[in-house]
Amino acid sequence: MLLPPGPVFMQVKPVSNANRPTILLATTNAGKAREFNELLREAPARFPGLKDLNITQDVEETGATFAENALLKAVTYAKLSGVWTLAEDSGIEVDALNGAPGVYSRRFASPNATDEENVTLLLQKMKGVSWGNRSARFRSAISIASPEGQHWTVEGILDGIVTTARHGAGGFGYDPIFWLPDRGKTTAELSMAEKNQVSHRGKAAAQAVKLLQRLVLEGVLH
């Protein structure tokens, strides 16, 4: 059937979310997932979670660095799911503890420790440490992997100070005891938008978004 002539713009299909490439957001951490949902809004993809793809398997984090663990998770979940995957490994490094808990941040107090238990243990270990010696940093490594095994990794850092008590109710993990000198607040006292602007995860995610835009332009991701 012949269509009546119409304005050219009527023939341009809007790019709907369904036409975007699918990237599995492979995290079991609800706090991280909330932040990523904001941080990845400008990315040229849609990001279902593990539950959306009915994936229940956990990946053991055996790497010695955040980058190794992020890559391990991204590559394993991409193979498992058959779709492109974004995974992150993150944590806190405390100078007075020679970089601990580092890659063991989630498992600091015990293998299945809660955020509450990990924070309590860190405050305990830092008891008596002077204010000048409480420097720390959050690190985030994000890896993106294709089911065929191609992969890319980007990283972000946020410097801060470990407080002597909890302040604030936002964020997750060690946020209530991670103080930013230039804000005069812990990361648990920032709004999510404020935290995302300065955080380790925000910095790594900004690079990940640029990388995804390039991969789409080059036709690698479609």
Residues known to be catalytic: 89
Q: How many helices (H) and strands (E) does the chain have?
A: 5, 6
Report which DSSP code applies to 206. Answer: H
Q: How far is the CB of 187 from ligand ITT (least distance, A)?
A: 6
Strands 135-145 and 151-162: antiparallel
Q: How far is the CB of 146 from ligand ITT (least distance, A)?
A: 19
Q: How far is the CB of 220 from ligand ITT (least distance, A)?
A: 24
**Tokens (6 digits) for 77:** 């979940």
CB burial string 185-213: b at 16+ within 10 A, e below: bbbbbbebebbbebbbbbbbbbebbebbe
**Residues at the site binding ligand ITT, with contacts judged by CB under 6 A:** 27-29, 32, 61, 88-92, 105-106, 115, 118, 138, 171-175, 187, 199, 201
- Using the minimum distance from each CB to ligand ITT, give the nearer residue, 29 or 150: 29
Q: Which residue is nearest to ligand ITT (CB)?
A: 173
Only one residue has tokens 């989630």, namely: 106
Q: How far is the CB of 129 from ligand ITT (least distance, A)?
A: 19
- Using the minimum distance from each CB to ligand ITT, give the nearer residue, 45 or 94: 94
- Using the minimum distance from each CB to ligand ITT, give the nearer residue, 51 or 222: 51
- Residues 6 or more apart whose CB falls under 8 angstroms from that of 27 comprise 33, 36, 49, 50, 87, 88
**Tokens (6 digits) for 102:** 């580092």
